[in-house]
């Protein structure tokens, strides 16, 4: 639940919703709890439980790998890993690292491949590339923060290609400073409206992997943009960004980081005015209360967009509360009996044409992370997994054929797993970056003041 002064403050002459401090939505969620509890008490009955029957064998164990506090008992502790959000890796055979966006950084890790024949990779470890600074973000959890790292993605283009090039990226190592230029390997978004990128191509063509900053490649902060997620199109030559800012929409960029007409990916849930009367395919504008793009994920030739419900501005109900999603808190989520009804998901093809909408039978609560479980993931193999950022942080399992929910990801006692502040979901590559049947996640517990990177494995 995003907030700023409490939640909002002036930055560059405009009101900005500070990334680390989130509104608690007390007006809505508390009212919902009160009504549900009152109804339950008046009948002397518990709130209805609308959870689906558990699938046989649906038992997964959580392991905390890295966090900002010792209390999470993770293998690594980084106090600056505030609100761990974006998560990316490289495909099998490409080496590299897990990239965990949190606070003002990306934190890098290798290994956690328990089935690896090489003992070195069986546990999570770090090499000389541990920390990359992300412009437009910091690890300040007060309302003075400039923003937070959000989406993180890998760019698979050849490093010598002209796709998404980073120029003159500074890095210091072995007592010297070098400026790197090459096709980006990883791309970062921030909720302060900046997109940055990182390359590893040295001046002599060698690979350079050392700590240092990413370079800003686009800055939309002056136009009120707030980027909450990123994805490359299936063709790999365009960048998509989920802008949850002043004019929420999916934005597109060409290989040179220049904004271009999005071309498809129209919001099927928007109910406002037609954006372009001469081109109805562009869809409608978002009105307060409409779902708006919150994240975008490419899986093969498929593109999934997660939508969070917007809120009306407290001062002007005809406008949206910029950067603030409407979600139920833990108490209200629990009181809803598994039906928070706050958010949607839509699937598009590679051209941006709508394939279907997925409402999750009202089980979504500010959904953000989307992935598809591989074979070997037990009863949820082949299911679309959708992670709820809001409330209890449940992971909803959707049947890919029907688009209907079949269960939640459950813990070793059979209860739906709860990861408050849940963001990214991603499976390992099975070689050097996690087991291919282990589900990796990031989260910002405690109203995004904490950060957590972990895994879920079938038991």
Count of structural domains, the chain: 1
pLDDT score, position 52: 82
pLDDT score, position 8: 35
256-286 burial, b for 16+ CB within 10 Å, e for fewer? ebeeeebebbbbbbbeeeebeeeeeebbbbb
Phi, psi of 440, deg, nearest 5: -95, 145
pLDDT score, position 435: 98
* Spacing of C-alpha 412 from chain mean position: 25
Closest CA to 454 of 403, 376, 387, 356: 387
Please return the burial class of 66, using the count of CB atoms within 10 Å of its CB with bins 0-12, 13-18 and 19+: buried
State how far the Cα of 420 lies from the Cα of 387, in Å rounded to an integer. Answer: 10
Residue 362 pLDDT exceeds 90:
yes
Average pLDDT score over the chain: 91
Residue 343 confidence class, pLDDT cut points 50, 70, 90:
very high
Residue 14 pLDDT exceeds 60:
no
State how far the Cα of 151 lies from the Cα of 95, in Å rounded to an integer. Answer: 21
Residue 28 confidence class, pLDDT cut points 50, 70, 90:
very low
pLDDT by residue (tens digit) across 202-229?
A: 999 999 999 999 999 999 999 999 999 9
pLDDT by residue (tens digit) across 368-389?
A: 999 999 999 999 999 999 999 9
Read off the pLDDT of each residue in 295-309 and give the average, rounded to a whole number: 99
What is the H or E stretch that residue 334 is in? helix 330-335
Residue, of 183 and 28, whose pLDDT is higher: 183
pLDDT by residue (tens digit) across 96-132?
A: 999 999 999 999 999 999 999 999 999 999 999 999 9
Phi, psi of 289, deg, nearest 5: 100, -15
Residue 317 pLDDT exceeds 60:
yes
pLDDT score, position 443: 99
Contact 265, 233 (CB under 8 A): no
- In the DSSP assignment, the letter for residue 280 is G
% residues pLDDT > 70 (the chain)? 89
Sort strands 176-183 and 194-198 into parallel, antiparallel or unpaired: unpaired
pLDDT by residue (tens digit) across 134-182?
A: 999 999 999 999 999 999 999 999 999 999 999 999 999 999 999 999 9
Closest CA to 386 of 365, 369, 403, 402: 369
State how far the Cα of 279 lies from the Cα of 5, in Å rounded to an integer. Answer: 39
pLDDT by residue (tens digit) across 35-89?
A: 343 433 433 333 446 788 899 999 999 999 999 999 999 999 999 999 999 999 9
Q: Residue 380 in 3-state DSSP?
A: helix
Residue 231 forms beta bridges with which residues? 240
Please report, for the domain that includes residue 338, its CATH number. 2.130.10.10
Residue 405 pLDDT exceeds 70:
yes
pLDDT by residue (tens digit) across 345-360?
A: 999 999 999 999 999 9
What is the H or E stretch that residue 197 is in? strand 194-198
The alpha-carbon radius of gyration of the chain (Å, integer) is: 21
Residue 280 confidence class, pLDDT cut points 50, 70, 90:
confident
Residue 271 pLDDT exceeds 60:
yes
Contact 183, 158 (CB under 8 A): yes
Segments forming the whole domain that contains residue 445 = 4-458
Q: Residue 417 in 3-state DSSP?
A: coil
């Amino acid at each position: 639940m995003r907030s700023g002064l409490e939640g909002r403050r002036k930055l560059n002459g405009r009101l900005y919703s500070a990334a680390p401090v989130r509104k608690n939505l007390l007006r809505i969620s508390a009212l919902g709890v009160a009504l549900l509890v009152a109804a339950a008490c008046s009948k002397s009955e518990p709130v209805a439980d609308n959870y689906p029957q558990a699938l046989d064998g649906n038992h997964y164990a959580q392991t905390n790998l890295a966090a900002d506090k010792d209390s999470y008992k993770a293998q690594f502790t980084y106090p600056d890993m505030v609100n761990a959000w974006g998560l990316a890796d490289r495909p099998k055979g490409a080496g590299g690292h897990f990239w965990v966006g949190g606070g003002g950084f990306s934190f890098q890790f290798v290994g956690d491949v328990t089935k690896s024949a090489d003992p070195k990779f069986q546990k999570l470890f770090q090499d000389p590339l541990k920390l990359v600074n992300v412009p437009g973000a910091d690890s300040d959890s007060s309302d003075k923060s400039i923003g937070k790292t959000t989406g993180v993605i890998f760019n698979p283009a050849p490093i010598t290609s002209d796709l998404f090039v980073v120029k003159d990226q500074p890095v210091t190592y072995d007592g010297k400073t070098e400026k790197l230029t090459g096709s980006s390997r990883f791309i970062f978004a921030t909720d302060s409206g900046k997109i940055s990128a990182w390359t590893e191509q040295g001046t002599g063509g060698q690979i350079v992997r050392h700590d240092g900053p990413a370079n800003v490649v686009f800055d939309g902060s002056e136009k009120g943009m707030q980027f909450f997620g990123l994805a490359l199109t299936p063709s790999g030559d365009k960048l998509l960004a989920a802008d949850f800012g002043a004019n929420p929409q999916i934005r597109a960029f060409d290989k040179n980081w220049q904004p271009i007409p999005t071309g498809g990916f129209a919001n099927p849930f928007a109910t406002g005015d037609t954006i372009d009367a001469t081109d109805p395919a562009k869809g409608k504008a978002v009105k307060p209360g409409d779902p708006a793009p919150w994240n975008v994920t490419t899986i093969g030739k498929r593109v999934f967009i997660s939508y969070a419900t917007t809120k009306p501005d407290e001062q002007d109900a005809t406008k949206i509360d910029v950067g603030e999603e409407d979600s139920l808190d833990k108490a209200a989520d629990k009181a809803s009996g598994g039906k928070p009804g706050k958010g949607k998901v839509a699937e598009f093809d590679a051209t941006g044409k709508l394939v279907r909408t997925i409402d999750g039978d009202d089980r979504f609560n500010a959904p953000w992370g989307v992935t598809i479980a591989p074979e070997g993931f037990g009863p949820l193999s082949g299911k679309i997994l959708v992670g709820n950022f809001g409330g209890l942080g449940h992971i909803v399992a959707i049947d890919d054929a029907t688009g209907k929910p079949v269960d939640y990801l459950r813990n070793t006692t059979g209860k739906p797993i709860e990861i408050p502040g849940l963001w990214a979901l991603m499976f390992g590559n099975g070689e050097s970056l996690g087991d291919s049947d282990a589900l990796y996640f990031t989260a910002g517990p405690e109203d995004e003041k904490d950060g957590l990177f972990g895994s879920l494995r079938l038991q």
